[in-house]
A and B are shown apart, each in its own frame.
Chain A
Amino acid sequence: DAGVTQSPTHLIKTRGQQVTLRCSPISGHKSVSWYQQVLGQGPQFIFQYYEKEERGRGNFPDRFSARQFPNYSSELNVNALLLGDSALYLCASSWLRVGNEQYFGPGTRLTVT
């Protein structure tokens, strides 16, 4: 079975631009969560979506938004990019909404210049 997939692998944007990152969960998983990992730090929670509804949001500005589609894939959008948005963006899927293992994709490396 395929694991969590993310696209693109790498992305270079300039300040002020907008970016869309994509994630496909493991087949059968209904929960998708997004994390941001800045170099040298642990991942930080951005969003959780379950059954196409937002179920949790971390301490990120409104420039960050996401959605989940009927096939449970998800997109993360970031508007008005700042240099500080440069990071590895990780998507994780899980079977249940709460209390179970989360499986991560390989991530999208975003560089903002």
Chain B
Amino acid sequence: SQQGEEDPQALSIQEGENATMNCSYKTSINNLQWYRQNSGRGLVHLILIRSNEREKHSGRLRVTLDTSKKSSSLLITASRAADTASYFCATDWASGSRLTFGEGTQLTVNP
């Protein structure tokens, strides 16, 4: 089964609103990464947060990590229609760079 699980499965918001997606995982991790995917294309790397970090920012993105709860959240502020995509969390938990993905959150930002 997948290591990570995203919540919600689907999210629909208006442009300008904030979008929050959550990810839970099961085992200890080295790091957790968030990716965006548009319409079945390749994955775009958004941000990596290491197990000893609690929060990271990149532009309009804010990621938090709570290793005690084995959970992470991705916040997109001031969303735009171009943010419409599937968002995946992926955990790096093995000795190699083996990412385990959840099933993703489908975000729709309405103009």
Contact = CB atoms under 8 A, between A and B. Distances in A.
Interface of A: 4, 31, 33, 35, 39-45, 48, 50, 55-56, 58, 88, 90, 92, 94, 96-107, 109
Interface of B: 2, 4, 30-31, 33, 35, 40-45, 48, 50, 88, 90, 92, 94-104
23 contacts: A40-B103, A41-B103, A42-B103, A44-B101, A45-B99, A48-B96, A50-B96, A55-B96, A56-B94, A56-B97, A92-B43, A92-B99, A94-B97, A98-B95, A98-B96, A100-B48, A101-B33, A102-B99, A104-B35, A104-B44, A104-B45, A106-B41, A106-B42
A43 B99 CA distance: 9
Contacts of B102: 42
Nearest to A41: B103
A85 B45 CA distance: 25
Nearest 4 CB-CB pairs, A to B? A42-B101, A104-B43, A56-B96, A106-B42
A98 B97 contact: yes
A83 B88 CA distance: 26
A33 B97 contact: yes
Of B31, B94, B96, B102, which is in contact with the most chain A CB atoms at under 10 Å from its CB? B96
Nearest to B96: A56
Nearest to B101: A42
A109 B20 CA distance: 30
B97 A48 contact: yes
Given A92-B43, A101-B33, 8 more contacts: A4-B42, A43-B88, A48-B98, A90-B42, A97-B96, A99-B97, A102-B45, A107-B40
Contacts of A106: 41-42
A39 B42 CA distance: 13
B40 to A, nearest CB: 6
Nearest to A109: B40
A89 B88 CA distance: 16
Contacts of B2: 42
Contacts of A103: 45
Nearest to A57: B98
